[in-house]
Structure 1
């Protein structure tokens, strides 16, 4: 399955994505783009959903909009509609299930002066729906959390678990290659604040480029994602430790390295198999250095 794709393919995928309803989009896209991995499609869908929610969430969750949604929900329950009321409403209005459920909970626990309940209470109820005092709302919220791959405590826990899984995978692959390194916890003990996932104790060469550190990203790297990481993380690693490598395990758009000059940060979708320890002084690498 392809994980590194052209900008044209990516734009075509987004065009198709924007025409689909919120749920079950990955299944449909996998038929339209059979050469792309399911993991890559899941990441692209999730990232695009989050961008859309940033633009529309405020408009969809005004007090008037929430009041209208709440009345529809209450009426649907009173009329004995089958479970999944909030899921169907989510599909209709374009708000993700978890965000819709959160808005309905906030309205359900609204105080007499119409002020919202505390964020801690709402977060607690979202994490444990059994604590919700209304049976129907508890079940409806539970269904929303199960169906939402982008928002809510289940989705967040899943993302954190996958991210940690790939960090461990990176460490194991480096150990298998007998490359010594310090990981994030080691660096924080040494007093570093912003730290990459891996700091190599002995630099390696990859395609003629020196690598001092590696950052693991269990997601798909598009231009917006990569620019954000360059600004918030990667350039600070380069300033402190020199050139490095970021791995987008679920793929990336070709030519992302054009976002920065001189290949100071390499991009790959897996740990390179052609790494050469600098201390070994391979002839081809150092010959190139001397002749350059």
Structure 2
């Protein structure tokens, strides 16, 4: 789904008032019923991450961390069955998973020698039963399950969705009998930084030659697309020639402005593929 920049900004502005919880997704879908839930979630996630980057430093101030931790300890005594960390996260406008990480790190400072690694904390967030405090483990699990923008559950879902769309792309290419090399095959050949697909025989899409295809299971907004251009797409163009980027959950329509320079944007697998070998017609 392609959105004009004005429409994107309307959705983005609405997300400013939302917390990163599952309930917010329902509100978002009710407000914009004609957009898919996947597109809305991707936009919400992008905008919430921008919001978090602007404010995260204040939540890592030592005094603030201590206030969060002491509040948790006090309320855990008086309201042991309440979702304390989840409520706190909503109140201070911080991702539940990020607040859980802050509290777990502070908790570990009081344990034995107080020495721990980021890997230990991450493993506890992935598997809260590793936390040597049953009540805190339950609180962390509540944060992880209810957070729709950050945390190990979100990371796992994003990875699975990304893999699913890469498989879908390969299936679509095979249906068209198009010969290609995928990322794993390219790395086996010694390439270090590659797109998801290199076409062994180029194709034409809407009159533009395509040598490679990149799959993005997300929405393409200004910031993310600019980052991808600088860190990925232009290097692919330099190495392999013009290519196609598929933003499966849509993108801001005005971003599709590099076609003449060799980068084409689509929100689905193209239906009007023309093969370039032996003067063949539409595939």
Q: Same fold (TM over 0.5)?
A: yes
Aligned to 2:262: 264
List runs of 5+ in structure 1 lacking aligned partners.
285-292
Which residue does the alignment assign to 1:288?
none
CA contact (8 A) 2:217 2:248 kept: yes
Partner of 2:137: 138
Q: CA deviation at 1:22?
A: 3.3
Counterpart selection for 2:12 from 14, 25, 33 = 14
Q: Hey, what does 1:175 align to over in structure 2? A: 174
Q: CA deviation at 1:257?
A: 2.1
1:114-153 to 2 correspondences below 5 Å = 117-153=116-152
CA distance in 2 between partners of 1:152 and 1:168 (Å): 25
Note if 1:277 corresponds to 2:271: no
User: Is the alpha carbon distance of 1:62 and 1:137 closer, same or farther for their aligned partners in structure 2, counting shifts above 3 Å?
Assistant: same
Q: Deviations over 1:218-275 (max 9, x none)?
A: 00011111101000100000000000000000011112123x3624100001110100
Count of residues in correspondence between the two structures: 281
Range that drifts further, 32-41 or 77-86? 77-86
Q: Distance in 1 between matches of 2:61 and 2:7?
A: 36
User: What's the RMSD between the two structures over aligned residues?
Assistant: 1.8
Q: State the alpha-carbon separation in 2 of the partners of residues 283 and 129 from structure 1.
A: 57
Sort the Cα spacing of 1:214 and 1:261 in 2 relative to 1 into closer, same or farther, 3 A.
closer
- Provide closer, same or farther for how the CA distance between residues 205 and 263 of structure 1 changes in structure 2, counting only shifts above 3 A: same
For the 8 Å contact 1:4–1:253, the answer to whether it is kept is yes
Kept in 2, the 8 Å contact 1:257–1:263? The answer is no
TM-score (norm 2): 0.95
Instruction: Call closer, same or farther: CA 1:277–1:130 in 2, change over 3 Å.
Output: same
Maintained 8 Å contact 1:106/1:116: no
Deviation for aligned residue 1:20: 2.5
Within 2, Cα distance between the matches of 1:132 and 1:21? Answer: 26
Please state whether the residue corresponding to 2:119 is helix, strand or coil. Answer: helix
CA distance in 2, matches of 1:281, 1:255: 33
Extract unaligned runs of 5+ from structure 2. Answer: none
Distance of 1:156 and 1:123 partners within structure 2? 12
Distance 1:251 1:138 in 2: 37
Deviation at 1:281, TM superposition (A): 1.9
CA distance in 2, matches of 1:280, 1:223: 39
Q: Is 1:162 the counterpart of 2:165 in the alignment? A: no
